[in-house]
Structure 1
Amino acid sequence: MSIELRHFRCFLAIADTLSVTRAAERLHLTQPAVSRTLRQLENELGVRLVDRSTHHLALTPDGLAFRDRAAIAVTAFDGALGYGHRTSWPLRLGHAWSAAGTDTTTLLRRWREEHPETPLELLRIDDRTAGLARGDVDAALLRGEVRAPGLVTEQLTTEPRVAGLPADDPLAHRAALSLTELADRTIALNTVSGVTTLDLWPASARPASTITIGNTDDWLAAVTGGRAVGVTTSATAEMRPHPAMAYVPLTDAPPVPVVIAWRDGPAHPRIPDLLALAHEVIGRRHNRP
């Protein structure tokens, strides 16, 4: 037996739903057919992808690692299959939050002027790699350290960190703050796509109370609603001003690198043009002496 695309689609349906029943409904197959296809894939790969030992299915470590590779393969196939029905091949640029900050409009307009034959689609995806690792986009604007295997990055600039506070907070009108001044507060942490962790604080002044959120909108709601304070970068302050929000510079927090990332291997042919323009619009303006 050889692995076919249907095996990948079946596994991805199971990975998305964590249920053979729901995967079968999505694929319009019977449950035995889905189970049989999964077993064939596992046997051919020689690894176990799904743990069936509990009441609820779960991906094994091999399953988690294989999921992104399978998604990339299916996305590439679907993209190639649909090529003949397109008049152009869009370049998909992902971001998890704030895109290129205030340079976003310039980047998009310059691209449209200089490469009108290739639409540049900006997509927000709440994921650490903004969908790049699983093949949802061709390139991504990301912040912080990028550790996902198979990705190549180039740094464009850095952004200073700022504290996010309710506008009526006693510290909101300060010219600047230190991290230790936030240590006794509840901190909102975006564990899905954010770059702030408790390791940012000194060990002797680490906040004891946190709440976990999954995207920038929920982060803003938590802060403006008075549930927590947070740490972000200047791009959030520029892109997401809010009358109930105050952004205050932090004096002792290291800046956050902003990188452009793409997959190592076959890629969209316009990636080099995007890299050059991103360095010109974002990097040079911010990094000049």
Structure 2
Amino acid sequence: MSIELRHLRSFLAIAEEGSVTRAAARLHLTQPAVSRTLAAVEKHLGTRLVDRSTHHLALTAEGRIFRDKAAAAVAAFDEALDPTRLRRWPLRLGHAWSALGPFTTPLLRRWEREQPQTPLELLRIDDRTAGLARGEVDAAVLRGQVETPGLVTELLFMEPRVAAVTSDGPLAVKDELTLSDLAAGPVLVNPVSGITTLALWPEEERPVSAVTVTNTDDWLAAIAAGRGAGVSVVSTAEMHPHPGVTYRPLPDAPPVPVLLAHRVGPQHPALPALRDMARELTRQD
């Protein structure tokens, strides 16, 4: 039996819904039909994609990898058949927050001048790979170490870190802060798209607790409300000012690599031009 696009869509529905029953309802199919489709995909690949040993359906490690590949394949298919994109093929550049920081506007303006035939779409996607692994974008600006299979990355520059604290709190009066200054209170952590974890601190100085958020807007709101402090990069301070948040240099924290990434395999024809332009604009002699 050959695997078709419908098999991928069924598997993705299962992965997103976390249930064969809900996936079947979403696809307007019967539960047995969706179960047979899943079994056919697993048989074709020779591995289990879904763990059925618990009360809640969960993807196996192989299932998570296949989910990303299947999502990219479906997105590429839908993109190819979108009639609105036949005349002009935009280059989609994803980012989770702050894009290229101070280089963002120069990049967009220069692209408009030099590549007017190819629109450059800047898309903020709250995801560790800014939508790249799922095929939602053609390239992405990523921060921190990237271990997602199937991606190629290139270092553009290293970015210093900053602390973000409540503007009317005691830490805001200091000119600069240290990691130990932040360890006494909760720290805001974004496991969806952020780069800061408690592992940033030495084991003996780790913060007493962490508060989880899922995007930059909630991160800022929580800091302004006094729920904890955050750690980010200087571009965040420049591109996300907030009246209730004060940013301070954090010189004892290691800088963050800023990467340009794309998927292995076929690429948008304008990607080399984007790569060259990003290199030139961010070059630090």
Give the alignment's TM-score, normalised by structure 2.
0.96
> Which ranges in structure 1 are unaligned for 5 or more consecutive residues?
none
Structure 1 residue runs of 4 or more that deviate by more than 4 Å after TM superposition: none
Matched, 1:73 2:73: yes
Give the CA RMSD over aligned residues: 1.4
Find the aligned partners of 1:164 and 1:266 in 2 and give their Cα distance. 40
Secondary structure of residue in 2 paired with 1:69: helix
Q: How many Å apart are 1:81 and its aligned residue?
A: 2.5
Q: CA 1:22–1:179 in 2, change beyond 3 Å: closer, same or farther?
A: same
How many residue pairs end up in the alignment?
285
- Asked if structure 2 preserves the Cα contact closer than 8 Å seen for 1:223 and 1:245, the reply is yes
- How big is each residue's C-alpha offset from its partner over 1:124-176, in whole Å with a ceiling of 9 and x where there is no partner? 11111111112111100011111111111111111111110111111202111
Find the aligned partners of 1:98 and 1:29 in 2 and give their Cα distance. 41
Q: Map 1:60-139; keep pairs closer than 5 Å.
A: 60-82=60-82, 86-139=86-139
Secondary structure of residue in 1 paired with 2:102: helix
For 2:2, give the aligned amino acid: S
For 1:61, give the aligned amino acid: A
Structure 2 counterpart of 1:249: 249
For 1:7, give the aligned amino acid: H
Matched, 1:171 2:162: no
> Which ranges in structure 2 are unaligned for 5 or more consecutive residues?
none
Matched, 1:271 2:271: yes
Q: Map 1:1-289; keep pairs closer than 5 Å.
A: 1-82=1-82, 86-281=86-281, 283-284=282-283, 287-288=284-285
Q: How many Å apart are 1:85 and its aligned residue?
A: 5.8
**Percent of residue pairs bearing the same amino acid type:** 64
For 1:19, give the aligned amino acid: S
Find the aligned partners of 1:257 and 1:168 in 2 and give their Cα distance. 31
- Asked if structure 2 preserves the Cα contact closer than 8 Å seen for 1:144 and 1:257, the reply is yes
Q: How many Å apart are 1:26 and its aligned residue?
A: 2.1
Secondary structure of residue in 2 paired with 1:156: strand
Find the aligned partners of 1:100 and 1:197 in 2 and give their Cα distance. 22
For 1:243, give the aligned amino acid: P
Find the aligned partners of 1:84 and 1:110 in 2 and give their Cα distance. 25
Deviates more, 1:81-90 or 1:271-280: 81-90
For 1:176, give the aligned amino acid: E
Q: How many Å apart are 1:22 and its aligned residue?
A: 2.0
Deviates more, 1:142-151 or 1:100-109: 100-109
Q: CA 1:49–1:234 in 2, change beyond 3 Å: closer, same or farther?
A: same
For 2:166, give the aligned amino acid: P
Find the aligned partners of 1:30 and 1:56 in 2 and give their Cα distance. 19
Give the alignment's TM-score, normalised by structure 1.
0.95
Find the aligned partners of 2:96 and 2:215 in 1 and give their Cα distance. 8
Find the aligned partners of 1:251 and 1:102 in 2 and give their Cα distance. 20
Deviates more, 1:38-47 or 1:82-91: 82-91
Deviates more, 1:52-61 or 1:116-125: 52-61
Q: How many Å apart are 1:84 and its aligned residue?
A: 8.2
Secondary structure of residue in 2 paired with 1:155: strand
For 2:226, give the aligned amino acid: G
